[in-house]
Amino acid sequence: MRSPLLLLALPLLVVVWAGTAAADPSSPLYLALGDSLAAGVGASEPAQSGYVGLVFDALRTEASSPYREADLALLNLGDPGETTTSVLASGGQMEKALAEIDSRKEDGVDGNEVAVITIDIGANDFIPLVQGESPCLPNPLTSACQEAATSALSTFRTNFSDIMRALRAAAGPEAQVVALGLYNPLSGTGGPLDAVGDAAVGLFNGTVAEAAAEPDIQARLADIFSLFQDRGPQLTHIAELPPDVHPNDSGHYLMAQAVVTALGLPADAVATPPSGAPALRTPTPSTRPPTVLPTASPTSTVSALPGAGGNGNDDTPWAVYIGLVVGGVVVVATGLLVLGRRRATRG
C-alpha cells in the first residue's frame, strides 16, 4: 500500500510576473525565461530583488564579468502561469525568444547577440492533475490518476528537452545557458513532509539535470535545492498567512548566487543581500524547534482547483497549494513505482 504521505510533497511553483522594457538592440542580451521565480514573485521589489534582477546587476558590475563593460541589456519573458506547453505554444515565450535571438544575429550589429539565457519552468505542468475532470479527483491513488501523472511527467520531460534544445541551437555554443531546478519550501517545517518533499522535488530536478546534460544542449545547472534545505520558513513565505511557496528576498538572493556561480562568477558578485540573508553554503541541520505551519484543515480528498495558465494570478491560498502539492506528488509516486518495477524486473 502506498503511503498517503506521498500526497503531500512537491512544491509546485506557480506562475510569473512578466515585465521588462524593450531591450537595447545594440547591446549583448541577458534573456530570461520562466515562471514566477524568473519574475521575482515573492521578492519585495520583483524587478530589482528577484533573482533575475540580481543576476543582471551582478553581470554588469562584477569585475571578472565579461559583460561589465559591454552595457548588457535584459529581456525577461516570464509570464504568469507558464507551463512548458504554453512556452512552446504559438505566440509563447519560445517564439519570442527565438525571434529575439535570430533578429540579433541577422541585424549586422557586432556584439549584440544573446549572451546569457536562464530558464526555470515546469512546475505548473502538473496543475491539471487537480483540476476539473481529472482522474485524480477526489482520489489520487487510483490507477487512472497514476496513468495521468505518468503522462504529465512524460510531457514535461519531452517539452523541457525541446525548449532547451531549441534555445541552444538558436543561440549557438557561445551563449551561456543556465537551467534552474526547484527547491522544497517545506524543508525545515518539521514532520515527515520534509523528506517526502525532498523526494518529490528530486524527481523533477533529475529530469531538468538530464536534459541540461544532453550533448546537443550542454546547459549549466543552478542547484537551488540544497540552498533551501532546512530553511523553507526562512527563505520563503510558507509560514505566513496565507502560506506562499515563493522565495522572499533572502531566497531570491541565494538563487541569484547559485546562478552567477553556474555562470563562473564568484557568489559575492551578487549585490549586498537583504538583512538576514544566509550565506551561499550547504546548511547544517538546524536544532531549532519545527516551524508550525498555518492550519488549513485539509481533507482526505482533493477538490477541483481554479484554472491556471498563462496570465494567471499569483495569489495562491493554502487550499490551492495543497492541491498543487498533491498533483506533484502523484507524479513522484508514479515515478517511484516505475523505478521499483524496473529494479524488480532486472532482478
What pLDDT is stored for residue 278 in this prediction? 59
Cβ-contact 270, 49 below 8 angstroms: no
Residue 59: enclosing H or E segment and its boundaries? Answer: helix 51-61
Task: Give the separation between CA 246 and CA 119, rounded to whole angstroms.
Answer: 16
Q: Spell out the residues 6+ positions from residue 3 whose beta carbon is closer than 8 angstroms to its own.
A: none
The CATH number of the domain holding residue 140 is 3.40.50.1110
**CA-CA distance, 201 to 193, in Å (whole number)?**
12
Q: What are residue 71's DSSP bridge partners?
A: none
Average pLDDT over residues 113-142: 86
Cα distance between residue 278 and residue 154, in whole Å: 36
Instruction: Tell me the longest C-alpha to C-alpha distance in the chain.
Output: 63
- Taking alpha carbons only, the member of 234, 226, 237 closest to residue 202 is 226
The pTM is what? 0.78
Instruction: Give the residue numbers spanning the domain of 252.
Output: 4-346
145 band by pLDDT with thresholds 50, 70 and 90: confident
pLDDT in tens, 162-217: 999 999 999 999 999 999 999 988 899 886 667 777 887 888 899 999 999 999 99
Domains held by the chain: number: 1
